[in-house]
Each structure stands twice: as C-alpha cells, then as structure tokens.
Amino acid sequence: MSLKSCSKLVLLAALVGLANAQGYWIFAGSRPIVTTRLDSIVAPNAIGTHVHSIVGASRFKNVYDAADLMRSNCTTIPVQPDKSNYWAPQLYHHDHQTGVFTPIPTSFNVYYLLRNGPTKKPIKAFPPGLRMLAGDTNRRSYNASSFADQAVSFVCQDFSGAHDHDPDWAERNNFFDHSCPDGLRAQVFFPSCWDGNNLDSADHKSHMSYPIQNYNSGDCPDSHPIQLVSLFYEMIVSVDKFDYQGADTYVLANGDTTGYGHHGDFQNGWDVNLLQNAIDSCPNVNADIRDCPPLAANINQASADACVLETQVVDEATGFGSPITTLPGCNPLWDGTGPRPTCPGLPTPSLVPAQTSLPSGWTQVGCIAEGSSGRALTGASTTSSTMTRASCASFCASKGFSLAGIEFSDECYCDSQLRNGASSSTVTWNECTNHCAGNSNEICGGPNRLTLIKKN
C-alpha cells in the first residue's frame, strides 16, 4: 500500500479513538503472505479447521517453531527483522444466486500500542516463543461484559463522512446489514498481560489476560503481572467490490455469518532486543514507523513486496482465481441457531510446496536486468494468465531453448543466449517483485527485470 493511503490510516486511527494512546506504530497495508487452511497454534502438525489470511514471515508453516521462523528470508511487514506471523479468518462473499464463495481481497494494519495502566508498569517486548489467540471461532453471540467479546469489532469505512452519525453505521461487534463504500474493517485487540511463565496454554489464551480496567488498556492483574506491548489488528476487507445481497452475504471462512466468531492469532518472530529497543525509544511515536529510529533503520518495503512463502500450502482450492461452492473444511454457514452442522467423511487434503517445482534439469538463476538495447531473450515468447516459472520453463523447453525469463507476472521469453547487453549476473533479489499470474507464491520478474531460469 502506498504512503498516501498510509496517512489516511493515521487520520482514521485518530478518529476511531486511538488518540488517547501513548505511543503506537502501525505496520499499515500489510499483505498476506499466504491464504490457506493452516493454523500453527490451534492445529499444530495438521490441517486447520478453516482458511486464514496470514501476514508476515516467509517460513510460516503448520507448526510454530520460533527458531525456524526466525530464519525466514523475509516478511510482508516493512520492518524485516520482525519475523512474526499475524492471521485471522479469510472473509468470503457468498453469492445468493449461484451459491459460490469468493475470497474478498484483504490487507492488515497491525498496531503496536505502548499502553500501560495507572501504575505505569514498564512495557515489555513479546518474549521469544510467545503465541496467543484473541477472539473465539465458536462465538455466535455477544456478551457485553466480556472483554474478550469487546475485543472483536467491525467498522464500516465510508471516507465521505456521509454516515458519521448514523447508528446503523457505528462501530459494532457483528457484521453490518449493508456494504461499506471504503471496505470493512474487522478488528481484534489482543490481551496484553502475560503470566510471565507460559509461552502458550491449552486454550492458547489462559497464559494471557486483558488488563483489569479495559480490554484495550489498564493495569495487569496479579495473575498476569507482566505488561506486554498491546497488539491490535485491523483486517481491511474490500467488501465494496462485492454487492450486498442481504443476510449471509459476507461470511468468515469458519462459516460464521454473524461476525462474532472473528478472531486473530499471533506467533512471535521478533528480534526481541529490537522490539524492546523500539518500545523504549519511541514512547511518543504517532503511528509512523519512520518516526521510530530502531524501526526506521530496518524498513525495507521492496523486500516486503517481493517476499513469498518458502514452505507449504494446503492442496485445495480457496477460491482465488475461481470461486468455490463450499468453504474449505467443515464450515457450512452457521449463525448459531440450531445444532452446528457436521461433515461426516470429509477427506483431509495434503500439503504441497507453495512454489511449483521447475521441470527437471532447470534451475533458477535469479533476478536479472533486462537488456539495455532491447530484450534479453528474443527467441520465442508467450503470455498467460496462469503463468508460473515452471510453465515458462516448459514452454521454452518445448521450443528448444535453454533460457527462460519471466516478466510482469505473465510474460515468458525464451532464448539460448542473453542478448542486447543483458547478463546473467543477478541484481538484488527484491528488485523482482511481480507475483506470478498463475501462483502468487512465486515471483515472475519486475520492472525491467526478469526472473531467469536455465537448463543445466
């Protein structure tokens, strides 16, 4: 997301009542690294119960291994030493005429809020290995006295201000009965008080607690005395791109048509010293990570843009590219009325590499610059809306060439030598930022840059 929209977010943050915060920063417009049915906290070493939109580090996999996660090549968060993952259920559009489900494009604003209570306990970084959950996938109703329920909320974005005083458009704890011209904001505020001992617990929540006074600020209870930095997700969902057709138009990947079952998950992958340094150095930062020197020194948006998943995904359709007729997993629509539907005999899919493997005998050279006086590869070319590195290599092999280069996500070029001043010396990997048209988990070139593959 551009810096232009970033400043809009800053303004919004002030409008929604975060103005009283002490310091805070936002990883704004952060892109999911993958959308798949995995949950390394709730369903370790298994397939998850529903599809999640997962932001952050490139070694996300089906079990949390903090040391392995820290070895991630990159993250979709601008501050590259933060190898955490942040996730929430994917929101789908349910078409009432055809019955199909389409995943709605999503990005995250991840807030780090430097909040403590009246006793001003020092704010600590997330300890290494910490994971936690906020919200509850099984909720289908609201308890106004529960901080856990208050911590999940929705905002219907209308930047025109036309609905500013309309109660039907006010922030609420379940879905709206209308679309939102500038997108829906699904929000989750995490508990910020830690018991000081356990990095996880059986329900992934009991080792954490909301503060005494409020879900989003206050002193920590004696049972959970350590005040951690507060974490808050805004999942921005482009519901405005899909028509509202009445109740059950928007549904979470867990089959929830109410919104009460929205939730968020976090697994720590920070360089903890860096996070503590940012907390200590930036008590008054006002949203912008560029104003917090320890964070500013580590911003690399090009790497965030070029980052792709290194691990595996669930081998099933999630609706991207082509809508699906049922939500992955056992997730028939359920608003909490009547018994929860079951799905006897549902098969369990397997895991497959996130990136399609190259044809045998072909290897990736890397990101190279295009020719300076013409194209680097001029032997043959093709374009395809399902382009991957493998499909380009296969095309070039079928034409008898030994070099394949992909550019602009969907353009494939072949030759047996590099021409027009191009060389096989690679440039910095993050100069190739175009995700392949046929697989968003792979990179297919960049502006004036080719992803070069060669036959050995």
Ligand X SMILES: *[C@@H]1O[C@H](CO)[C@@H](O)[C@H](O)[C@H]1NC(C)=O
Residues in binding contact with ligand X, number by CB under 6 A: 6
- Smallest gap from Cβ 288 to ligand X, in A, equals 29
* Cβ-proximal residues to 104 (8 Å cutoff; 6+ apart), any chain: 90, 91, 92, 93, 237, 238, 239, 241, 242, 250
Amino acid at 130: L
For residue 98, state whether it binds ligand X (rule: CB under 6 A).
no
- Smallest gap from Cβ 84 to ligand X, in A, equals 18
Binding ligand X (rule: CB under 6 A), the pick from 22, 73, 286, 416 is 73
CA distance 169 to 155: 8
Q: Closer to ligand X by CB, 114 or 306: give it.
A: 306
| Unique residue bearing structure tokens 């910095």 | 428
For residue 305, state whether it binds ligand X (rule: CB under 6 A).
no
Q: Closer to ligand X by CB, 283 or 353: give it.
A: 353
| Unique residue bearing structure tokens 């403590």 | 116
Cα-based distances in Å from 354 to 49, 56, 140, 283: 19, 15, 33, 39
In the three-class reduction of DSSP (H, G, I as helix; E, B as strand; rest coil), residue 257 is classed as coil
- Smallest gap from Cβ 140 to ligand X, in A, equals 13
- Smallest gap from Cβ 58 to ligand X, in A, equals 7
| Site residues (CB under 6 A) for ligand X, limited to 307-346 | 308, 310
In the three-class reduction of DSSP (H, G, I as helix; E, B as strand; rest coil), residue 272 is classed as helix
Structure tokens given for 219: 């002193």
Binding ligand X (rule: CB under 6 A), the pick from 98, 138, 146, 372 is 146
Stretch that binds ligand X, among 142-150, 195-203, 250-258, 405-413 (CB under 6 A): 142-150
In the three-class reduction of DSSP (H, G, I as helix; E, B as strand; rest coil), residue 89 is classed as strand
How many Cα atoms are found within 13 Å in the side-chain-facing hemisphere of 127?
16
Is the CB of residue 286 less than 8 Å from the CB of residue 23? yes
Locate the DSSP E strands across 31-181: 32-36, 52-56, 85-89, 91-94, 101-103, 106-113, 131-135, 152-156
Binding ligand X (rule: CB under 6 A), the pick from 138, 143, 357, 398 is 143
- Smallest gap from Cβ 164 to ligand X, in A, equals 31
Stretch that binds ligand X, among 33-41, 141-149, 257-265, 266-274 (CB under 6 A): 141-149
- Smallest gap from Cβ 366 to ligand X, in A, equals 9
DSSP 61-86: -SS--HHHHHT-S-BSSSBTTB--EE
Binding ligand X (rule: CB under 6 A), the pick from 145, 342, 425, 456 is 145
For residue 57, what is the DSSP state?
B
Q: Closer to ligand X by CB, 308 or 377: give it.
A: 308
- Smallest gap from Cβ 429 to ligand X, in A, equals 7
- Smallest gap from Cβ 69 to ligand X, in A, equals 13
- Smallest gap from Cβ 151 to ligand X, in A, equals 12
Selection from 61, 105, 55, 106 nearest residue 78 by Cα: 55
CA distance 22 to 18: 9
Stretch that binds ligand X, among 118-126, 139-147, 199-207, 325-333 (CB under 6 A): 139-147
Structure tokens given for 378: 């001029």
Is the CB of residue 10 less than 8 Å from the CB of residue 287? yes
Is the CB of residue 438 less than 8 Å from the CB of residue 320? no
Stretch that binds ligand X, among 13-21, 90-98, 140-148, 210-218 (CB under 6 A): 140-148
Stretch that binds ligand X, among 78-86, 91-99, 138-146, 244-252 (CB under 6 A): 138-146
In the three-class reduction of DSSP (H, G, I as helix; E, B as strand; rest coil), residue 313 is classed as strand
Q: Closer to ligand X by CB, 193 or 253: give it.
A: 193
Is the CB of residue 54 less than 8 Å from the CB of residue 87? yes
Q: Closer to ligand X by CB, 72 or 267: give it.
A: 72
CA distance 247 to 257: 8
For residue 428, state whether it binds ligand X (rule: CB under 6 A).
no
Structure tokens given for 11: 């303004």
Q: Closer to ligand X by CB, 293 or 353: give it.
A: 353
Q: Closer to ligand X by CB, 104 or 453: give it.
A: 453
- Smallest gap from Cβ 310 to ligand X, in A, equals 4
Stretch that binds ligand X, among 118-126, 143-151, 189-197, 380-388 (CB under 6 A): 143-151
- Smallest gap from Cβ 442 to ligand X, in A, equals 9
Is the CB of residue 411 less than 8 Å from the CB of residue 375? no
Q: Which residues contribute to the site for ligand X (CB under 6 A)?
A: 73, 143, 145-146, 308, 310
